[in-house]
Amino acid sequence: MTVLQDISTFEDIKLLVDTFYDKVQKDDFIGPIFNEKIGHRWPEHLEKMYRFWQTVLLEVHSYSGSPFPPHKHLPIDKEHFDRWMQLFIETNDTLFQGPIAEEAKLRAKNMAEMFNYKINYFRDQGQKGDLLNLK
């Protein structure tokens, strides 16, 4: 039996991100949404994700920016976030074990819940605005 190590280096972050997004790209449910939005910019997106997770998990401040705005108008719902989380947890648990790996899952869960909430909020606000414009 192989003993899994915790996430501790930038190479670990790259392995997590690359393995996870490889699954995302191939997934029948969420893959088409990601592939349409990102298109040919996957290398750029992966680099951004390396920096994001390095900042969040290893406290190496290499990411700056606001992760929510690019997701604001995506045609996604809770089921999409549930699938994203399922793939993330599966990937993380296959590759790593330890406190930072557990922190990664918690951070991903919190982010998915917040993004889902905010997307629904903006969607509802847009529909309310549309209704007001019809009057």
Q: What's the pLDDT tens digit per position in 16-48? A: 999 999 999 999 999 999 999 999 999 999 999
Please say whether the dihedral angle defined by the alpha carbons of residues 45, 47, 50 and 51, taken in this order, is positive or negative. negative
Quick check: 112 pLDDT over 70?
yes
**What does the DSSP assignment read for 68-120?**
SGGGTT-S--HHHHHHHHHHHHHHHHHH--SHHHHHHHHHHHHHHHHHHHHHH
Look at the block and give the residue holding tokens 């190479």.
11
What pLDDT score does 31 carry?
A: 96
Q: What percent of the chain has pLDDT over 70?
A: 91
Q: What does the pLDDT average to over 105-129?
A: 84
Helices (H), 5-41: 10-26, 31-38
Quick check: 130 pLDDT over 60?
no
Q: Which of 120, 45, 122, 26 is nearest to 81 (CA)?
A: 120
Our measurement of the distance from residue 86's CA atom to the centroid of its chain's CA atoms, rounded to an integer in Å, reads 11
Q: What does the pLDDT average to over 102-112?
A: 97
State the chain's mean pLDDT as an integer.
89
Q: What percent of the chain has pLDDT over 90?
A: 71
Q: At what angle do helices 31-38 and 10-26 cross, to 10 degrees?
A: 110
14 vs 2, higher pLDDT: 14
The pTM of the full predicted model, rounded to 2 decimals, is: 0.86
